[in-house]
Structure 1
Amino acid sequence: MRSTLQTVLFIGACLVADVLGDWRCLGAGGKCQYDLSPSAMSRRGPEGLCNGPSARRCCLPAGREENAERLTNAEALQILRANGMTWSSTGGCNDRNVRSCTSFTGMRRATLVGLVAFKHASKCNIVVTGGTETGHSSGEYSHSKGYKVDIRYYGVNDCVLNFVRRNFNQISNRSDGAMQWRDGSRNTYARESNHWDITYY
């Protein structure tokens, strides 16, 4: 029979696991909880933003759409620098309307929060090579809509590749043949010839 101390430790461990897995909801400005409180939070976010069972959902502040907060280029660069990441572009620019630039204008904060979490979990060198600039494929979860980010791929000894292989589930190849992995929050990491195409939902 489980002792009272064992029960307390078990519950405590579960609560800690829940909190540590809540970064996607927190990054979107929400709060993870089991019992929704309409007086404090009015919108119920999608599943997968909070750790734990499906009943544990992300509640977003009244008047705020799910993951809707968009960043300026300057805000995004500040977050990248603060977390030891850099960016690069063939044109050396950040104009969203020029395909040779790398722009973060209009990127979802939740997307960058996802990349920050990945950086700290993997401890890899992250160089962003693609953001919201023109020239990428369109779609519901596209670069232009702020869901995708490209980071540099360094070849067979790539730190990201090694981390992804060890920790994520490989899924079917993309229609263009790119190998894909999915993390525990159902974000996808597609390995292209010279970069990773990452989608944070």
Structure 2
Amino acid sequence: MDVRPSWRGLAGIGTAVLISLPMQNDRDPAPPPSPPPTAGPGVQASGEVSLPPLLAGTFIATVKTWDTTAADERIGQARAAGLLLDAGVRWKSTGDCAERRRPYCTSLEAIRYGTLMRTIDLRRDSGCPVTVTGGTETGHADGRYSHGNGYKVDLAHNRCLDTYVTRTYRYWRTRGDGVALYRPPSPDPDPEAGPDARFAVWANEPTHWDVLFR
């Protein structure tokens, strides 16, 4: 049941108060001026509600932050695929499979958490479609910072991503097989020197970007 204030009752109270006040010069005393409205925290004088700057920025930071201390943790196929799906990153296999021992599959089994999350960061930072076409499956070159060790992903070419990479990163050198390499402006100069969150190498291969995230 709705309960509504009785304006007649309120009017009667106001009348009673006025009658009880002392009269001066046969005129009712003028009511005191109303104090200016005070804007409380998060409320503007106009009555509009605004988020405090710190709180407003928290939401963006929460979306883009991940635990870098867990970067070397290896995660399984199901968890990795779920994280990509939640971030809007596609996963594609020419063999429509995820078995790590088959080269025509695209496997995320035992991929580094840091590699996966930096792929997700790329999707958010670039705003481009990102499709993973290669992960930890067999068939890639061996090495410490290799696909098999969870450091690399293959990402399908598209106009948006190609433009983003070539404008954001700088040309570094040409690989022995003629493939152009790009990297951030100030990466760790020596891949063997230790982990550095800024370090990445983008190899512009004919059908995809071969990307080292470390």
The question of a shared fold, defined as TM-score above 0.5 by the shorter chain, is answered with: yes
- Deviation string, structure 1 residues 13-67 (Cα, Å, up to 9, x no partner): xxx9xxx7xx79x433x3xxxxxxxxxxxxxxxxxxxxxxxxxxxxxxxxxxx73
Give the one of 142, 145, 157 matched to 2:146.
142
Residue 115 (structure 1) aligns with: 119
Residue 5 (structure 1) aligns with: none
Separation in structure 1 between the aligned mates of residue 143 and residue 127 of structure 2, nearest angstrom? 31
Deviation at 1:80, TM superposition (A): 0.5
Residue 204 (structure 2) aligns with: 191
TM-score, length of structure 2 as denominator length: 0.62
Q: Which amino acid aligns with 1:69?
A: E
Give SS of 1:190's match. Answer: strand
Residue 179 (structure 2) aligns with: 178
Larger radius of gyration: 2
Give SS of 1:172's match. Answer: strand
Deviation at 1:175, TM superposition (A): 1.6
Residue 161 (structure 1) aligns with: 162
Runs of 4+ in structure 1 off by over 2 angstroms are none
Deviation at 1:165, TM superposition (A): 1.7
Alignment of 1:5-20 (within 5 A): none
Asked if the contact 1:103/1:130 (under 8 Å) is kept, the reply is: yes
Deviation at 1:186, TM superposition (A): 2.2
Q: Which amino acid aligns with 1:189?
A: W
Looking at both structures, which has the greater relative contact order when contacts are Cα pairs under 8 Å and sequence separation is at least 6? 1
Separation in structure 1 between the aligned mates of residue 67 and residue 175 of structure 2, nearest angstrom? 28
Q: Count the aligned residue pairs.
A: 142
Asked if the contact 1:95/1:102 (under 8 Å) is kept, the reply is: yes
Separation in structure 1 between the aligned mates of residue 124 and residue 72 of structure 2, nearest angstrom? 24
Give SS of 1:170's match. Answer: strand
Q: Percent identity among equivalent residues?
A: 35
Where do 5+ consecutive residues of structure 2 fail to align? Answer: 1-56, 187-197
Deviation at 1:131, TM superposition (A): 0.2
Where do 5+ consecutive residues of structure 1 fail to align? Answer: 1-15, 31-65
| Cα-Cα RMSD | 2.0
Asked if the contact 1:173/1:180 (under 8 Å) is kept, the reply is: yes
TM-score, length of structure 1 as denominator length: 0.66
Give SS of 2:206's match. Answer: coil
Deviation at 1:174, TM superposition (A): 1.5
